Amino acid sequence: MSDDEDLDRLERRAEDMRLQIARANAQLYDRKKHFQEQRRQYSRDYYAKNREQQLEYQRQYRAAQREKDPERFAELRRGRAKRWRDRHKEQENARQRAQYRRDPQPHKERRARYYAEHAEEIKAKRREYYAANKEKVRAAQQASRDREKSRRDAGLPVRRLHPVDPDQIRSNADAADEFFARAWSSTDLERIQHGPPTPPELWAAWKRDCLKARAAYHLAEQKEELARLQKELGRARPGPKPKPRPTAEEIEAERLDAIGRQINERLRRREPPRRPHHLDPAAPHPMLQPNHTMGMNR
């Protein structure tokens, strides 16, 4: 079997394995989504039925916690707010950016007003930070100067971050396109492509070996992934459906039935158990023995 046939066979097996993995992932996703939706729907229904009760319970719990330890309650509340901000950082940043783009003037005025009110405090903090981190600040400044010098030597534009208007953004984009789409001279191409050329047969063999190795590696990874998904699907295969939770009416009816069963057990008239006529099955029957009027039988 030639190398091309081996490569085609590996690619076909990898594609088949990829389709199986995709189907298994889809089944797991549908199952998890259905289960989560059932849980959410149950929670929504329960909350809708007991909304006032749940709200009153939450109010009482918060009031009790606040009365018990006000400082601890405030700390937990700040922690919850921080965790919410951390979970929704991207959404909050996007909302603030959109708000700033719609109307940046209030933000600028607020920032200028804050700086005017705390100018000396801000300057003092900057001086304190520079005095405490002098070497670090100087190293960062030197690194920035070296980076800009290397960009200028390479012919790249100087990196500057500052607010620009839409017209300047478009002009910058056009300048970048012109810079990166420039034509290379023959001298530059010779400097880049120095050295003897690679023979075509060696280049083709190297590409074929790379493709085969990559296909074999991906196939092995896909086999492990498919085995893991099949194991998870087998473990998560639904069995008998759990019984639904009893309602309040069903719980009360079961309680009354249990009371009735206890009363019936107490009042039921039971006949005494029948005793065997004799312990020895080989002994004669008592009715066959003569009834004497003397002695012990009298």
Q: What is the pLDDT of residue 287?
A: 59
Q: What is the pLDDT of residue 220?
A: 82
pTM: 0.31
User: Residue 166 burial (CB < 10 Å; 0-12/13-18/19+)?
Assistant: exposed
Distances (CA, A) of 13 to 7, 8, 206, 207, 258: 10, 9, 22, 20, 63
- Domain range list for the chain: 118-177
Structure tokens at 214: 């990559």
Distances (CA, A) of 291 to 126, 128, 260, 282: 127, 126, 51, 20
Give the count of alpha carbons within 13 A of 171, CB side only. Answer: 5
Q: What is the pLDDT of residue 78?
A: 92
Looking up tokens 């959410």 gives 40
- Chunked into runs of 10 residues, the chain (298 residues) has average pLDDT values of 71 80 83 86 89 90 90 91 92 90 88 91 92 92 87 75 79 86 80 73 84 81 81 63 73 87 79 60 59 53
Q: What is the pLDDT of residue 117?
A: 92
